[in-house]
Amino acid sequence: MPKKDISKTEAKKKIDDFFKEIDSKSPKQIKKIKRTAMRHRISLKENKKLFCKKCLKPYHLPKIRIKNGIKIVECKNCGKINGWKMK
């Protein structure tokens, strides 16, 4: 039995609801929602900054530094350092 695919608007709503309560999510759930976003060509924009790129766990009290207009966030779980340009 094939999976029922959802529309782009339904996927966008599902993604928005997911990121409202990201603190209680597992890496497996984050990977699944990322895949849904890619499948429907929906950008995660600022939501990408709520979890670690390497271990996919939500940031919980991360170490944050600002240097030369770049925000540097260190994951407490795996030690990965992620950086983004400041606006």
Q: Between the CA atoms of 13, 16, 19 and 24, what dihedral angle is there, to the nearest 10 degrees?
A: -30
Q: Is residue 2 part of a domain?
A: no
Q: Is residue 1 part of a domain?
A: no
Q: Is residue 50 part of a domain?
A: yes
What pLDDT does residue 21 have? 92
What pLDDT does residue 75 have? 94
Q: How many domains in the chain?
A: 1
- pLDDT tens digits, residue range 22-79? 999 999 999 999 999 999 999 999 999 999 999 999 999 999 999 999 999 999 999 9
- pLDDT tens digits, residue range 5-27? 889 999 999 999 999 999 999 99
pTM of the predicted protein model: 0.83
What pLDDT does residue 2 have? 59
What pLDDT does residue 48 have? 93
Structural domain that includes position 35: 8-85
Distance CA(70)–CA(25), nearest Å, equals 27
Q: Is residue 3 part of a domain?
A: no
